[in-house]
Structure 1
Amino acid sequence: MTAPHTLLTVDAHDRASVRRRDEAWLEQQWADPATRVLVVAGAQVRPRGGRIDWVRPDETPDGLRVLLGERDDRAWFALVTDRPDPDEPGWAGLRDLLPLLAGDAPESRADAPLLLHALGIAEWLAVTRFCPRDGTPLEPRAAGHELTCPRCGRTQFPRTDAAVIMLVTHGEPGADDELCLLGRQRVWPRGRFSTLAGFYEPGESLEDAVRREVAEETGVEVGEVSYFGNQPWPMPASLMVGFVGRATSTRIEVDEVEIEEARWFTRAQMLEETRTGTLVLPGGVSISRSLVEHWYGGPLPGQW
C-alpha cells in the first residue's frame, strides 16, 4: 500500500530543534537579511499577490519569534502577534489558505509544511496562556516551542489531538463490484461526500478507534484495519491518521448527529457521479482525497 502524497506531507523543512535554545545563533539568524519571516496574527496570516507573504526580519512588527527551522540555506521564523483587528482586511486562517497552497506555483506548495508549523504553534500559544497547576501566566521558551510557569517551573509542550480517518470497503479487493463507503454531514452542500473520521479516545488502539467511529456513525461493522498514512491538520491541532477498513456488513444506519447520509459506491458509480457533479469529493490537499483515489486507482474529476 502506498502512503499518501499530499501537499501537507511533502518537502518538510529541517526544524533545527537543537538551535531553539541557542540565543546567539538565533540572534545571528534574525540579523541575516536572507532569513524569512511569516507574520502570524493570532492564527491567521495575510497573503500577498496570491502567495504566502514571507518578509525580512526588519520588516516585522513586535511579537514572539518562533523558529520554524532551516530550508534552502536560510532560516525561517514565524513572528506571532495578537489577533488582528476584525475590521482589518486580508487576514486568513488555514482553511481559507488551502486553495492557495494547492495552486500551480511551486513556492506555494513548498510553503505548506512551514505554514502548518507556524499556524500550529500560533494556535497553541493563543490558547495556552496560564499554568494548569497554579494559574500563573506562562512564559515562552525554546524559540516558542515551550511554555514555562515561572512560579512552579512546570513546562507545557504543544499538544496534538490524534484523529482517525478511514476509507471503508466491502467485497473482493479490485473487483468491479467492490464497494467504498462515504458519508456526508448535514451542514455540507448536497452531493458533497467524504471518508469517515473521528477522534481517538484514551485507552483504545487506533484500529479500534476506526471500528468504533464507523459503527457509531453508520452502523457498519469493520473487521481488518490497515494503516495508510498520516497528515498534519492544525485546525486547530490534529494529526489525521489514515486507515483502510474492511467492512463485515453493509447495512447502513446513520447516527443523524455527525452523519446525515452514508452511501456505498462502486468505482463505476463514483466516476460517473464525479463527472456529472452529483458527487463532490474533498480537494487534493487532503488525505481523504488520497484515500479515495488510492482505492479508485487513479485521479477523479471535481473537488470541493
Structure 2
Amino acid sequence: MHDRPRTATREHESRFRYAAEGFDRAHLQRIDPCWQAEARGSDQAHALIVWNDRSAVIEDRALRLPLRGLIDLAEPLFLGIEQGRPLFALDLSDMQRTQVEALLHGGRLDELRRIGPLLSYADAGVLAYARALCHWHRTQLHCGRCGRPTRVERAGHQRVCTGPDCACVHFPRTDPAIIVLVEHPDDDAAGPRCLLGRSARFPERMFSTLAGFVEPGETLEQAVAREVFEESGIELDRIRYFGSQAWPFPASLMIGFHARARTTAIRLEDDEIIEADWFTPEALDAAGEWGDAAELCLPRRDSIARALIEDWRGRVRSAGGPASGWTED
C-alpha cells in the first residue's frame, strides 16, 4: 500500500474540526473486491455506528466496535484504514434505538454537533465522515434520473442504478458553500470593524459571518460578492481565500474568505438575515458564547465562522489598529 499522501494546509486550516486527518482513505482498496471481502472478515476490522444521523460514542471519544459481530446488520461502508486497521461505517437507522444502544457496550448515541467540540480532532473527523456517508446513502436509495432502486458499489463510495437501460452512477454529495468575514474599509477613521449578521434560525443575540451556497455557473468569488450583497446590501472590493472546513450537517463544504467592503450602508432585503451590524474588536471581546445570556454571542468554537472572527480579531490586535493586510493594486 502506498503511504498516505500529506495534505498541504495553512496552520489554521489544519485545526478545523470534522476533517478526517491522519487517515488513509485507501482508494485502491475500495475497488478491490477480494481485499474488501478479506477486510470485512478480519478481526482487525472495526465499525463506527450511525443511527438517524446520531453517532455512537463512549465518554468523550468515538466508539469503534469489531465489525465481525455486526456485519449482518447493515451494509458496511468502507471509510479507510486507521492505524493499520480497516474502518467501516454501519448505518443502523432501520433498527429501534433501544436495539442499537444494546450493542454499544456502555456507549451512547449522540448528536455530533453537540459533542464535536469535546472530541479529539481525529475522532470528530472520522465520525463526521461516517455520518456524511451514511446520510448520503439513506437519501440516494432511488435513482434521480429514472426512479429505480440503486445498489451500493465501490465499498460504499458509489450507488448505481439497477435499471438496465439507465445504470446511472451516483457519487456522494458535497454542497459547496461560501462563508465570509467582511471588514469595514475604515474610510471614516472610526477604527476596525467587521460585518456580522443574525439569521432568523439563530438563537437570540447570536451573530455570525455571512454565508450561502454556491450557485450553478458562478465562481467562489462571485458567490461571496453575491451573498454579501443579497444579505446585507454591502458591495465588496477585495476578496481573499482563508480556508475550508468539512461541514457534514448534512453535506456541506464551507469555503472561507475575508473580504473588504466598498460600501458600508447596510440594507436588509433578504428575509434570511434579520439583523446585521458592524462590530468593533472591543464588542467581540465582550461577547458571550453560543447559548449564553449575553448581549452579543459568537458562533461555536468548532466552526470556521468562529475561526474567521478570531483570525481578524487577532490581526487587529497585532497591528494595534486596522489590520486587513490588503495590498493595493
Q: Which residue of the other structure, out of 109, 129, 147, is the alignment partner of 2:159?
A: 147
Q: Judge conservation of contact 2:207–2:299 (CA < 8 Å) in 1.
A: yes
Query: How many matched pairs?
Result: 292
Residue number in structure 1 paired with 2:33 = 23
Residue number in structure 1 paired with 2:115 = 100
Shift of 1:227: 0.7
5+ residue gaps, structure 2, are 1-9, 102-107, 318-329
* Alignment-mate amino acid for residue 84 of structure 2: D
Q: Judge conservation of contact 1:220–1:249 (CA < 8 Å) in 2.
A: yes
Shift of 1:14: 1.0
* Alignment-mate amino acid for residue 73 of structure 2: D
SS at match of 2:207: coil
Q: Judge conservation of contact 1:51–1:100 (CA < 8 Å) in 2.
A: no
TM-score (norm 1): 0.87
1:35-78 residue CA offsets vs partner (Å, 9 max, x unmatched): 22112234332333343221001232511111100121211111
1:70-92 residue CA offsets vs partner (Å, 9 max, x unmatched): 12121111112334537777543
SS at match of 1:224: strand
The percentage of aligned residue pairs carrying the same residue is 36
Shift of 1:285: 1.0
Residue number in structure 2 paired with 1:291 = 308
1:187-222 residue CA offsets vs partner (Å, 9 max, x unmatched): 322221111100111111111111111111111111
Residue number in structure 1 paired with 2:327 = none
Q: Does 1:123 align with 2:135?
A: yes
Alpha carbons of 1:133 and 1:101: their partners in 2 closer, same or farther (altered >3 Å)?
closer
TM-score (norm 2): 0.81
* Alignment-mate amino acid for residue 80 of structure 1: D
CA RMSD of aligned residues (A): 2.5
* Alignment-mate amino acid for residue 97 of structure 1: L
Q: Judge conservation of contact 1:160–1:238 (CA < 8 Å) in 2.
A: yes
Q: Judge conservation of contact 2:50–2:89 (CA < 8 Å) in 1.
A: yes
Q: Does 1:80 align with 2:81?
A: no
Residue number in structure 2 paired with 1:271 = 285
* Alignment-mate amino acid for residue 257 of structure 2: F
Alpha carbons of 1:256 and 1:265: their partners in 2 closer, same or farther (altered >3 Å)?
same
Distance 2:222 2:270 in 1: 22
* Alignment-mate amino acid for residue 70 of structure 1: I
Residue number in structure 2 paired with 1:281 = 298
1:1-304 map, 5 Å: 3-4=12-13, 5-9=15-19, 11-60=21-70, 62-85=73-96, 91-92=109-110, 96-103=111-118, 108-150=120-162, 151=164, 152-171=166-185, 177-255=191-269, 257-274=271-288, 277-297=294-314
5+ residue gaps, structure 1, are none
